[in-house]
Amino acid sequence: MHRSHFHHSDDCGCSHARTQSQRAAALQRAENLCQSRSIRLTPIRRQVLQALYTTHRPLGAYDIAEIVSHSVENSGKRHLAPITIYRALDFLLAQGLAHRLTSRNAFIACPHDHGPDDMVAFLICDACGGVDEMTSPDLTQAVSALLNREHFKPETQVMEITGTCAHCQAGPASL
């Protein structure tokens, strides 16, 4: 099972918080992936992906625009229009570098190499807003069997489950 935890404040110090080197490695992986596919991770696309990596919570397009407009790379430049952010997000989604959480109308970065047909489950904490991304061959096989039985061809295989994460259940002492 592949699991990634995006949680709490950016400086929470928890073991699941992404370090600067982890963010840099994820961005380099994205660059390498795009290069191997002969497509460009343009500066705007990179800034949007970088914005998604700055937090452990899903972000809306306007939140991303705000982060990008205050970034070092954008210093002194104009504020990006929402359509520009959405175009960059469409690219990142198509390349598997980000996911859209439909229930939140928000986006998160995807630092994983799961396949395009893999079932992805998001565990969304209602208390802190953190998101766990999980993939599992067993989950993919179970859902695929159900879909095949119903002769249903999915466009995407994403499951969103809301509740309370282990950190929030344990209380403030665990944060």
Question: Of all residues in the chain, what percent are helix, strand and coil, respectively (each to 5)?
Answer: 45, 20, 40
Quick one: tokens of 37?
Answer: 């596919």
Whole-angstrom distance, CA of residue 59 vs CA of residue 108:
7
Nearest to 48 by CA among 4, 86, 99: 86
Q: What pLDDT was estimated at residue 1?
A: 52
Between CA 100 and CA 105, with CA 101 as vertex, the angle to 5 degrees is 90
User: 3-class DSSP state for residue 129?
Assistant: coil
Spatial contact of 131 and 101, defined as CB atoms under 8 Å apart: yes
43-72 tens-digit pLDDT: 999 999 999 998 878 999 999 998 988 876
Q: Would you say the pTM of this structure is higher than 0.75?
A: yes
**For the chain, which ranges sit under pLDDT 70?**
1-18, 72-78, 172-175
Q: What pLDDT was estimated at residue 30?
A: 93
Spatial contact of 159 and 121, defined as CB atoms under 8 Å apart: yes
Q: CA separation (Å) from 175 to 160, 164, 166?
A: 24, 14, 10
